[in-house]
Structure 1
Amino acid sequence: MQKIKTTLLNIQGLKKGSISSANLSKSIFLGIALTFLSHNEAKAQLTATGQIRERTEIRAGQGTLQKDGEKAALFNSQRARLNLGFTGYRFKVFMALQDVRVWGQDASSINRTTTEANNGIMLHEAWGEIMLNDTTSTIQNLSLKIGRQEISYDDQKVLGGLDWLQQGRRHDAIVFKFANKGWIADVGAAFNQNKELGTGTVYNGTNSAYGAGTNGIGTMYKSFQYAYIGKKLSFGDISFLFFKDDFNKYTNVTSGTPAVTTKVYGEGVWSRNTAGFYFNSTIARKLNLTGSVYHQGGHDKDGRSISANLASITSTLQVGRKLFVGPGIDYLSGDDGIKAVTATTDNNRFDPLYGTPHKFWGSMDYFYAANGFGKQGLLNYFFKAKYNMRDNLTLLLDVHGFEAANTLSNGAGGKLSSYLGTEVDLLVKYNLTKMINIEAGYSYMKATNSMASAAVKNVTNPDLSPQFAYVMLNIKPNFLAKK
């Protein structure tokens, strides 16, 4: 645009004698060319953004209780992303190259005699989207998106990008997308293989734990199919989700001396079905309610029949101009801790699929995160407060009371208290600029002996007062932004 302005000034300058007539044709040609390019720029748009995210963490029982007397862990992890996107006539393409590492995990110089084991570089996203409707269509959007992509819906309780985790979460999938007059309808599918094959479709999933689900599932799905329908209403949003993920069947084979049991994968899948509703509603000018109800059926990754449920509701009340407060509760079903669990026993543990557990069940990630939880389900009573001290400074406070949704066994035929602990999360967010954010958090939990028991975390001689703290710097440059 600046070149266009300069050219126009040069052309105008001819009238004042500031340029010669010999340069007139060059100026006019350049002006026409730049005008043509600017016209095409409106139709085709290139985006180039990035991210450098540094996070220093102090873990003294984060994720699970540590033993009394163990020292805290201190480390710095780093995410680096380069995002390139291009929008043209009836198509979009996007790629995100990502590197995730912990400071010091790699040698400071290259040793050509060894292979670096800590390979944190990967293609986080790489997708293309084709618009099936042209510019004359009355439909807002009708498109097909295919490739590696994040899949997130609603509050990300069951499907989310898991941005807290430095590597995030992505799926290799194809999604048909429709949007018009407040309606959204997406239909998606994925089909995974370990490698190119000449015969069969057996998939063991073990090489894909990087993108596996929540709750320490450890096995990547063989395939999935889902349908999502949402509607924007005058008082909020409502949506329905059906998600089916399939896991390759296997049998346990024992052989050798001493005996070793291994999984032998064969044809066929066990399918898990999750369906439910979500709503986000402003029922009064300053009161918002968000809730969801889901049911899981079918079979889990080990072939057990599933019958599990999730129910959640969160309230947010605006108090004054800057303060937002509200209580809420989450219920996730689990197995009865007293009854024996066998291969034929129904699985009553609700698994929050591929969501973002860090957002809901405490910053210390004790529940439904990578280390696994859920045998007895969870009741999460919480109170949240948010105070916008300034336009660029926000304070947040979350208080959680965690309780097992079912009975806990003491291992001797008796019962344990179902209460697991109380967690307090403090968070400060400061935007130095639009592209630079600084965040700091501190979490403290007062855990119970039930949390440490073999029925839950199975930690002997535990420290029942775990703590967690972090400082995070997030820089997200827009390389093509105008000054």
Structure 2
Amino acid sequence: MKKWFQGGIPWILPGLLLSQHGYGQFTLGAQLRTRTELRDGQGAPKLQGTSPAFFTSQRTRLMAGLNTYRLKLGLTVQDIRVWGQDASTINRTTTPDNNGFMLHEAWAEVLLTDTVTKDRRLALKIGRQELVYDDSRLLGNLDWLQQGRRHDALLVKYETAVWTAHAGLAFNQNKEYAAGTVYNPVPPGNYPANTNGGGAYKSLEFVYVSRKFRQSNLSFLLLADQFPKFHIDSTVTPAQKKWEASVHNRYTTGLYYTGQYNNLSWTAAAYYQGGTNSSAQDVSGSLLTGYLQYGFNRRVSAGAGADFTSPDFDPLYGTPHKFWGYMDYFYVASAFGNKGLQDYYLRGKWKPGSRFTAGADVHEFFSAAAIAGNGKRLGTEVDITATYTLTSMIAFEAGYSHFWSTPSLALIKQVNNASGNNNWAYVTVNIHPEWLINK
């Protein structure tokens, strides 16, 4: 494969580009990731008597990057689909809903300080990009989801060996208008635009500051997102939302702390959320989280943690699959009754060698608010995963999860005649080669 890049057109093009603009590095990459799933109550308790779903989804990505004097460029195109989704003779021009091809990333980063200044760095990054901060709880690329998450944004980055300070800005519009800035936040297909199932933001601003210490790190986040106001037009049947130019403003702020001492490591975070959300509701919510882990040796580690989110809190644009159970019952695509969440969990990891890793998590879930006529307990989830790395470019992953749900969970998830036993299993093949070309 390397010989093809050395002798073929993909080698000639970056070579010509770099020869015109000085020395640099050009990277090419690809990813083919398939995930075969058995869903038997994933996302919500299944109905009694329903049959499991079984399918294979595939992510196909092509990536290219350029790193040269005071400039970095990144490009990722991807195609996301389910095997058999398209007939082999489908006319994709007239069936746009089946078109899974999209531009995931396209950004440029310009270094504003001189390259000889080694102790500080000021840069401007602009374009379609992933926003990933801290543990991805509030801002993450949602890589578990085949299509992932990205933002069209401008980012100013100031970094030293100890400090990191980023300021970001995004402003969304549906198309090029001749007048006005009215924005329809409901994307085609009515897919949810954020973690908790809401519409897309019209604009977003954030400031992130992080300070490294000897064995720990402390960061601060202040994020504001705005959503278009609306009114109900009852002159049409059925009544419809009409979007306005003015906005509701919501803000989220808090601290994240992580550290390590010998074999003991920990994370803790606290966030507050206020303002008005996309549904025109005033919010005053909080998120508290803490996790403690101990490494017994190089092979075995275990930890315990607890999360609390109040009913008003929305975990923004993070990666909930990483935290609140792999079966994605909470804060994934749809709300769950605005009752908030308590999650108490144990986590274990076993790594007998460099290629194989296995893990097991146990979650006990409760609502944060009372549920009329029912208790707060929502259920218990067990997640078991195993990963085997064949080479640096090829990896296999498998997992099984079981959720013992309660009537309280079925009530807030609005599932009648729900089963108390729910299952989910998957097998993933991840092929991800990369090539580095120096010129």
* Map of 1:391 onto structure 2: 354
> Structure 1 pair 112/280, CA: closer, same or farther in 2 (3 Å)?
closer
Give the structure-1-normalised TM-score: 0.84
1:254 Cα deviation (Å)? 1.2
Structure 1 residue corresponding to 2:423, chosen from 442, 461, 467: 467
Distance 1:53 1:404 in 2: 35
More strand by share: 2
Letter of the 1:286 partner, please give it: N
* Map of 1:181 onto structure 2: 161
1:475 Cα deviation (Å)? 0.4
Distance 1:236 1:57 in 2: 38
* Partner SS state of residue 57, structure 1: strand
Which residues in structure 2 correspond to 1:288-367 (within 5 Å)? 288-334=265-311, 349-367=312-330
Which residues in structure 2 correspond to 1:110-121 (within 5 Å)? 110-111=90-91, 114-115=94-95, 117-121=97-101
* Partner SS state of residue 135, structure 1: coil
Letter of the 2:361 partner, please give it: D
* Partner SS state of residue 391, structure 2: coil
* Map of 2:4 onto structure 1: none
Distance 2:410 2:310 in 1: 20
* Map of 1:405 onto structure 2: 368
* Map of 1:215 onto structure 2: 196
1:145 Cα deviation (Å)? 0.1
> Structure 1 pair 89/481, CA: closer, same or farther in 2 (3 Å)?
closer
Contact 1:280 1:290 (8 Å CA) reproduced: yes
1:268-293 per-residue CA deviation (whole Å, 9 max, x = no partner) reads 110110000001111x2011110110
1:304-357 per-residue CA deviation (whole Å, 9 max, x = no partner) reads 1110000000111001221110110000001xxxxxxxxxxxxxx210000000
Distance 2:44 2:106 in 1: 35
Bigger Rg, structure 1 or 2:
1
> Structure 1 pair 238/374, CA: closer, same or farther in 2 (3 Å)?
farther
The answer to whether 1:444 aligns with 2:422 is no
* Map of 2:13 onto structure 1: none
Structure 2 residue corresponding to 1:419, chosen from 374, 377, 400: 377
Identity of aligned residues (%): 45
Letter of the 2:97 partner, please give it: A
Q: Please identify, of 299-308 and 469-478, the stretch whose mean Cα deviation from structure 2 is larger.
A: 299-308
* Partner SS state of residue 318, structure 2: coil
* Map of 2:182 onto structure 1: 202
Contact 2:22 2:69 (8 Å CA) reproduced: no
CA RMSD of superposed structures (Å): 2.2
Structure 2 residue corresponding to 1:69, chosen from 26, 49, 54: 49
The answer to whether 1:136 aligns with 2:116 is yes
1:158-213 per-residue CA deviation (whole Å, 9 max, x = no partner) reads 10000000000000000000101310000000000000000000001112665711
Distance 2:39 2:115 in 1: 53
Distance 2:42 2:151 in 1: 27
Structure 2 residue corresponding to 1:263, chosen from 241, 254, 276: 241
1:373 Cα deviation (Å)? 2.4
* Partner SS state of residue 409, structure 2: helix
* Partner SS state of residue 432, structure 1: strand
1:122 Cα deviation (Å)? 0.3
1:479 Cα deviation (Å)? 3.4
Contact 1:368 1:374 (8 Å CA) reproduced: no
1:112 Cα deviation (Å)? 8.2
* Partner SS state of residue 479, structure 1: strand
Distance 2:124 2:437 in 1: 29
* Map of 2:5 onto structure 1: none
* Partner SS state of residue 406, structure 1: coil
Distance 2:93 2:156 in 1: 47
Q: Please identify, of 105-114 and 311-320, the stretch whose mean Cα deviation from structure 2 is larger.
A: 105-114
* Map of 1:429 onto structure 2: 387
* Map of 2:3 onto structure 1: none
Give the unaligned 5+ runs of structure 1: 1-36, 335-348, 410-414
Find runs of 4+ consecutive structure 1 residues off by over 6 angstroms. 37-42
Q: Please identify, of 472-481 and 359-368, the stretch whose mean Cα deviation from structure 2 is larger.
A: 472-481
> Structure 1 pair 436/261, CA: closer, same or farther in 2 (3 Å)?
same
Distance 1:117 1:481 in 2: 37
Distance 1:363 1:353 in 2: 18
> Structure 1 pair 39/193, CA: closer, same or farther in 2 (3 Å)?
closer
1:382 Cα deviation (Å)? 0.3
1:110 Cα deviation (Å)? 4.0
Ranked by relative contact order (alpha carbons within 8 Å, sequence separation 6 or more), the top structure is: 2
Letter of the 2:364 partner, please give it: G
The answer to whether 1:90 aligns with 2:70 is yes
Letter of the 1:250 partner, please give it: F
Distance 1:420 1:53 in 2: 33
Contact 2:25 2:437 (8 Å CA) reproduced: no
Distance 1:125 1:434 in 2: 23
Structure 1 residue corresponding to 2:152, chosen from 146, 153, 172: 172
Q: Give aligned pairs, total.
A: 424
Structure 1 residue corresponding to 2:79, chosen from 82, 99, 104: 99
Distance 1:260 1:106 in 2: 33
Which residues in structure 2 correspond to 1:218-237 (within 5 Å)? 219-237=199-217
1:459 Cα deviation (Å)? 1.1
Q: Please identify, of 206-215 and 295-304, the stretch whose mean Cα deviation from structure 2 is larger.
A: 206-215
> Structure 1 pair 211/452, CA: closer, same or farther in 2 (3 Å)?
closer
* Map of 1:20 onto structure 2: none
Letter of the 2:401 partner, please give it: S
Distance 1:481 1:421 in 2: 52
Give the structure-2-normalised TM-score: 0.93
Letter of the 2:44 partner, please give it: T
Contact 1:253 1:261 (8 Å CA) reproduced: yes
> Structure 1 pair 354/321, CA: closer, same or farther in 2 (3 Å)?
same
1:363 Cα deviation (Å)? 0.4
> Structure 1 pair 374/368, CA: closer, same or farther in 2 (3 Å)?
farther
* Partner SS state of residue 92, structure 1: strand
1:371 Cα deviation (Å)? 2.7
Contact 1:164 1:358 (8 Å CA) reproduced: yes
Distance 2:42 2:186 in 1: 26
